[in-house]
Amino acid sequence: MSETIVIAETRDGELHPVTAELVSAANNLGDSTTIVVPSTNDAAANSASSIAGVSKVIACVGDCFAAYDAASWAEAIDSCAPSGVIVCAASQNGKDLASRLAARRSISVVQDVVGIDGGTLTQPIYSGKAMQNLSLNGDAAISVRANTFAAAGDGGSAEVSVMNQSADVATAVREMIAKASERLDVAEADIIISGGRGMQDPANFANLERLADTLGAAVGASRAAVDTWEEIPHSMQVGQTGKTVNPSLYIAVGISGAIQHLAGMRTSKYIVAINKDPEAPIFKHADYGIVSTWEDALPVLEAELKALLG
Amino acid sequence: MGFQSKGCTLRGTGDKMTEIAVLVKRVPDTNAQILVSGDRVDLSAVKWVMSPYDEFALEAAMLHKEAKGGNVTAITLGNADCDKVLKDAKAVGVDRIIRVWDDSWSELDSNQAQSALANVIRDLGINIVYCGKSAADTGAGSTGPGVAERLGWASASNIIGLEFEDTGVEAMVPAATGNARTGVSLPAVISCDKGFCKPRKPNVKGIMMAKRAQVEVMSSDIPSSSVNIISHSPPPKKAPGQTFEGASEVPRVVAALRNDANVI
Amino acid sequence: MAYEGLDFYDIESQLSEEEVMVRDMVRDWVDEEVIPNIEEACRDGRFPEEWGKALGEMGVLGMTIDEKYGCAGMSYVAYGLVCQELERGDSGLRSFASVQGSLAMFPISAFGSEEQKMHYLPQMASGEWIGCFGLTEPDYGSNPGDMITRAVEDGDEYVLNGAKMWITNGTVADVAIVWAKLDGVIRGFIVEKDDVGFSAPEMTGKHSLKASVTSELVFQDCRIPKDRILPNVKGLKGPFSCLNNARYGISWGAIGSAQACFHSAKEYALSRIQFEHPIASYQLVQNKLAWMLREITKGQLLALHLGRKKDDGSWFPEQISLAKMNNVDMALEIARMARDIHGANGILDEYPIMRHMANLESVKTYEGTHDIHNLIIGRWITGIQAFTRTV
Ligand SMILES: Cc1cc2nc3c(=O)[nH]c(=O)nc-3n(C[C@H](O)[C@H](O)[C@H](O)COP(=O)(O)OP(=O)(O)OC[C@H]3O[C@@H](n4cnc5c(N)ncnc54)[C@H](O)[C@@H]3O)c2cc1C
Ligand SMILES: Cc1cc2nc3c(=O)[nH]c(=O)nc-3n(C[C@H](O)[C@H](O)[C@H](O)COP(=O)(O)OP(=O)(O)OC[C@H]3O[C@@H](n4cnc5c(N)ncnc54)[C@H](O)[C@@H]3O)c2cc1C
Q: A186, A194, A197, A205: which to mutate for ligand 1, most atoms within 8 A of CB?
A: A197
Q: How would DSSP label each residue in C135-194?
A: --BTTBSS-GGG---EEEEETTEEEEEEEEEEEETGGG-SEEEEEEEETTEEEEEEEETT
Evaluate whether C336 touches C257 at the Cβ level (below 8 Å). no
Tell whether the model's pLDDT for residue C189 goes beyond 90.
yes
Q: Is the CB of C315 under 6 A from ligand 2?
A: no
In a domain, A156, yes or no: no
**CA pair distance C240, A300, nearest whole angstrom:** 74
Asked if A123 and A227 sit in the same domain, the reply is no
Confidence grade of residue B254 (pLDDT, cut at 50, 70, 90): very high
Q: Which is more confidently placed, B12 or C144?
A: C144
C164: β partners:
C217
Asked if C245 and C368 sit in the same domain, the reply is yes
Task: Compute the distance from residue A256 Cα to the ligand 1 centre, in Å.
Answer: 5
In a domain, A62, yes or no: yes
From residue C48, alpha-carbon distances to C33, C257, C283, C357, C379 in Å are: 11, 19, 42, 21, 41
Rounded-to-10 torsion of CA B240, B241, B246, B247: 110
In this prediction, residue B5 carries a pLDDT of 30
In a domain, A154, yes or no: no
Query: Are C271 and A244 a contacting pair at CB < 8 A?
Result: no
Tell whether the model's pLDDT for residue B161 goes beyond 50.
yes
From residue C248, alpha-carbon distances to A85, C318, C379 in Å are: 64, 11, 19
- The residue length of chain A stands at 310
Greatest CA separation for chain A? 65
Asked if A11 and A140 sit in the same domain, the reply is yes
Confidence grade of residue B42 (pLDDT, cut at 50, 70, 90): very high
- Report the CATH number that the domain containing residue C271 is assigned in CATH: 1.20.140.10
- Report the CATH number that the domain containing residue A49 is assigned in CATH: 3.40.50.620
In a domain, A44, yes or no: yes
Q: How would DSSP label each residue in B123-168?
A: HHT-SEEEEESS-TTT----HHHHHHHHHT-EEEEEE-EEEE-SSE
Tell whether the model's pLDDT for residue C390 goes beyond 90.
no
- The residue length of chain B stands at 264
Asked if C327 and C282 sit in the same domain, the reply is yes
**CA pair distance C71, C65, nearest whole angstrom:** 6
Per-residue model confidence as pLDDT tens digits over C223-260:
999 999 999 999 999 999 999 999 999 999 999 999 99
Q: How would DSSP label each residue in A60-74?
A: EE-GGGGS--HHHHH
In a domain, C387, yes or no: no
In this prediction, residue B16 carries a pLDDT of 63
- Report the CATH number that the domain containing residue C183 is assigned in CATH: 2.40.110.10
Entry pTM: 0.89
In a domain, C389, yes or no: no
In this prediction, residue A181 carries a pLDDT of 63
**Average pLDDT of span C167-180:** 98
Confidence grade of residue C302 (pLDDT, cut at 50, 70, 90): very high
**CA pair distance A107, A150, nearest whole angstrom:** 27
Q: A205, A238, A253, A256: which to mutate for ligand 1, most atoms within 8 A of CB?
A: A256
The angle formed by the CA atoms of residues C129, C130 and C133, to the nearest 5 degrees, is 135
In this prediction, residue A41 carries a pLDDT of 92
Q: Is the CB of C166 under 6 A from ligand 2?
A: yes
- Report the CATH number that the domain containing residue C124 is assigned in CATH: 1.10.540.10
Residue whose CA is closest, atom 47 of ligand 1? Answer: A277
Handedness of CA A21, A23, A27, A28 (dihedral sign): positive
* Complete domains list, chain B, with CATH: 4-218 (3.40.50.620)
Contacts of C1 in chain A (CB under 8 A): 244
Q: Which atom of ligand 1 is nearest to the CA of A195?
A: 26
In this prediction, residue B31 carries a pLDDT of 84
Asked if A251 and A217 sit in the same domain, the reply is yes
Instruction: Please tell me which of the candidates B29, B31, B84 has its beta carbon nearest to residue C17.
Output: B84
Asked if A187 and A126 sit in the same domain, the reply is no
A90: burial class by Cβ within 10 Å (0-12, 13-18, 19+)?
Answer: buried
Asked if A181 and A96 sit in the same domain, the reply is no
Query: In terms of Cα–Cα distance, which of C163, C219, C170 is closest to C195?
Result: C219
Per-residue model confidence as pLDDT tens digits over C309-328:
999 999 999 999 999 999 99
Residue whose CA is closest, atom 1 of ligand 1? Answer: C350
Distance from CA of B28 to the nearest CA of A (A): 8
**CA pair distance C259, C300, nearest whole angstrom:** 11
3-class DSSP state of C131: strand
The angle formed by the CA atoms of residues C118, C120 and C122, to the nearest 5 degrees, is 70
**CA pair distance C280, C271, nearest whole angstrom:** 8
Per-residue model confidence as pLDDT tens digits over C118-160:
999 999 999 999 999 999 999 999 999 999 999 999 999 999 9
**CA pair distance C366, C331, nearest whole angstrom:** 15
Asked if A127 and A193 sit in the same domain, the reply is no
DSSP assignment letter at A202: G
**CA pair distance C167, A233, nearest whole angstrom:** 39
**CA pair distance B33, B47, nearest whole angstrom:** 10
Rounded-to-10 torsion of CA A136, A138, A143, A149: 60
Of the residues C200, C228, C256, the one at which a domain ends: C228
3-class DSSP state of B228: strand
The amino acid occupying position A290 is I
Of the residues C194, C228, C262, the one at which a domain ends: C228
Chain-centre distance of CA C160, in angstroms?
27
Of the residues A109, A144, A179, the one at which a domain ends: A144
Asked if A110 and A217 sit in the same domain, the reply is no
In this prediction, residue A309 carries a pLDDT of 85
Confidence grade of residue C286 (pLDDT, cut at 50, 70, 90): very high
Asked if C81 and C209 sit in the same domain, the reply is no
Interface test with C, best of A223, A237, A241 (most C CBs within 10 A): A241
Asked if A109 and A231 sit in the same domain, the reply is no
Asked if C287 and C210 sit in the same domain, the reply is no
**Minimum mean pLDDT range among A65-79, B10-24, B174-188:** B10-24
Confidence grade of residue B261 (pLDDT, cut at 50, 70, 90): confident
Asked if C250 and C334 sit in the same domain, the reply is yes
- Report the CATH number that the domain containing residue A260 is assigned in CATH: 3.40.50.1220
Q: Name residues whose C-beta falls within 8 Å of residue A68's C-beta, 6 or more positions apart in sequence.
A: A93, A96, B173, B175, B180
**CA pair distance C364, C370, nearest whole angstrom:** 6
Contacts of A145 in chain B (CB under 8 A): 262
In this prediction, residue B9 carries a pLDDT of 39
Chain-centre distance of CA C84, in angstroms?
10
In this prediction, residue C335 carries a pLDDT of 98
Asked if C268 and C224 sit in the same domain, the reply is no
Handedness of CA C231, C235, C241, C242 (dihedral sign): positive
B224: burial class by Cβ within 10 Å (0-12, 13-18, 19+)?
Answer: exposed
The amino acid occupying position C355 is R
Task: Compute the distance from residue A261 Cα to the ligand 1 centre, in Å.
Answer: 7
Asked if C97 and C53 sit in the same domain, the reply is yes
**CA pair distance C370, C201, nearest whole angstrom:** 28
Confidence grade of residue B260 (pLDDT, cut at 50, 70, 90): confident
- For chain C, say whether B47 makes contact (Cβ under 8 Å): yes
Handedness of CA A275, A279, A283, A285 (dihedral sign): negative
DSSP assignment letter at A195: E
**CA pair distance C141, C99, nearest whole angstrom:** 17
The domain tally of chain C equals: 3
* Residues of chain A falling short of pLDDT 70: 1, 181
Question: Which domain does A91 fall in, by range?
Answer: 3-144
In this prediction, residue C2 carries a pLDDT of 59
Asked if A43 and A115 sit in the same domain, the reply is yes
Neighbours of chain B (3+ CB pairs under 8 A): A, C
Of the residues C130, C148, C176, the one at which a domain ends: C130
**CA pair distance B161, B194, nearest whole angstrom:** 9
Q: Which is more confidently placed, B195 or C65?
A: C65
Average pLDDT of chain C?
Answer: 97
In a domain, A87, yes or no: yes
In a domain, A279, yes or no: yes
The domain tally of chain A equals: 2
**CA pair distance C212, C44, nearest whole angstrom:** 11
Q: Is the CB of A111 under 6 A from ligand 1?
A: no
Asked if A54 and A120 sit in the same domain, the reply is yes
H helices of chain A, in order, are 18-29, 43-48, 70-80, 92-105, 205-215, 223-228, 259-265, 282-285, 294-309
In this prediction, residue B11 carries a pLDDT of 41
**Average pLDDT of span C362-375:** 98
The number of helices, as runs of H, and strands, as runs of E, in chain A is 9, 18
Asked if A177 and A291 sit in the same domain, the reply is yes
In a domain, A162, yes or no: no
Evaluate whether C174 touches C193 at the Cβ level (below 8 Å). yes
Asked if C282 and C356 sit in the same domain, the reply is yes
DSSP assignment letter at A182: P
First vs last Cα of chain B: how many Å apart? 39
The angle formed by the CA atoms of residues C106, C109 and C111, to the nearest 5 degrees, is 95
Evaluate whether B72 touches B22 at the Cβ level (below 8 Å). yes
In a domain, C124, yes or no: yes
Question: Which domain does C326 fall in, by range?
Answer: 237-382
Average pLDDT of chain B?
Answer: 91
| Buried-state track A217-236, b at ≥16 Cβ within 10 A, e below 16 | bbbbbbbbbbebbeebeeeb
Per-residue model confidence as pLDDT tens digits over B111-158:
999 999 999 999 999 999 999 999 999 999 999 999 999 999 999 999
Confidence grade of residue B13 (pLDDT, cut at 50, 70, 90): very low
The angle formed by the CA atoms of residues A55, A56 and A59, to the nearest 5 degrees, is 160
In this prediction, residue B195 carries a pLDDT of 82
Asked if A194 and A252 sit in the same domain, the reply is yes
In a domain, A163, yes or no: no
H helices of B32-188, in order, are 52-68, 83-91, 110-124, 143-151
In a domain, C3, yes or no: no
Tell whether the model's pLDDT for residue C17 goes beyond 80.
yes
